[in-house]
Structure 1
């Protein structure tokens, strides 16, 4: 059982849906992003998704691309991201942290070294968007052996033939991408998402969390209502990019979390 498994068990017992918040590590600087991260649990965030800045974020829209560039310009590295999680863990031993990003920085570090360091820092899960199931031996299987959940993305184009392959080594939860395209590109619609979530849940016992295109508390409520929870990223990252004070960012996160928890 990981912190992710424990969190979903608790939420089920409470009859609540999960609210997942994405932030970019090191955006606009390490100090600010750590302050935001530390404030997320009290704002109602059940799981923190921490972006690893990368030079070629192919799945991300402009808002998150710019966040990653700001972080890189500010000197953020994979090591600093691991250190950030370790620092967060000094004050929070229970909130799950999922690192989301791309394989290149992990490969460059070395998978075995990365997994040992990630586990020691207190990371619970990985979402690596450019590693398909055919490459499970690269990172997915070693991660699970190290006690770190490997969370897979399913999309509107993941058909019934492909779905079992996507599910085969997934753990923690399934991340359903609600739209075809990049982050922040369009609004998620519950009427479209609901049947897709049901289709995925027929293929797995794992919780299904929906992300991409959720920008308001009302949307969070609607989408969480047809899934096991929702992810908000670009709407939070945008506030950071605008230079809003940490307290203002966290106040908006609390509004979004309240929407998801009403579902």
Structure 2
């Protein structure tokens, strides 16, 4: 997916475990299919996962997760990852890596929720709890800045869209983007946000939200970005339930829609040939935003 991506495989994970955490060295190791773009994830035995960042940028978030996740966990209504060990570069792998406790659940997929309105309420409960977390000063969240910060990159992606075979009207997409930019900026105190609530970072079980994972981009900022599941996951009827349950104003809703659109537009050309999960979701978001 990335030009500077590190190679990983099951044998590498076994060697890393043997050299640094020998108590887990004899457990079976299996790579998991994932739509994620930051880490290669391996199941280790029945109760653990090894997460190996694919690029140096992903590696830079591990210590932040290890510090903040134990503080966030008691404040939100669903499980979040538990970091049980941090590994060092070795065996030709160049960055730190992490071992997490296994969480049961399946990555959610747009259009496939068993009980979308129930899921919408669960998501709203998580987002509301996180944005109300009293954790003191936190790090700036990725995408926690004003929506205008994404303007140049989003406009460039729209121009690129004009020269592809994707079945979208670039003029309509640009109009939707400019409508989001016109929304008033966030004027409140920065809130705790996840900032990457893509379906692949949401686990479900029995029609409910079972866990939220991948907090590498979490921090404080404008909470509008955490509204993106309204367009990247939920159908229209459940979107209305979500909006009511999450208790957001019109300006924040518009900025959330803008973030969902911007992310999709940037992701589509980058991942269309390498990550079918992300590129399919990007197309879904664009359709949902244009449908109103």
TM-score (norm 1): 0.23
User: TM-score normalised to the size of structure 2?
Assistant: 0.22
Max radius of gyration: which structure?
Answer: 2
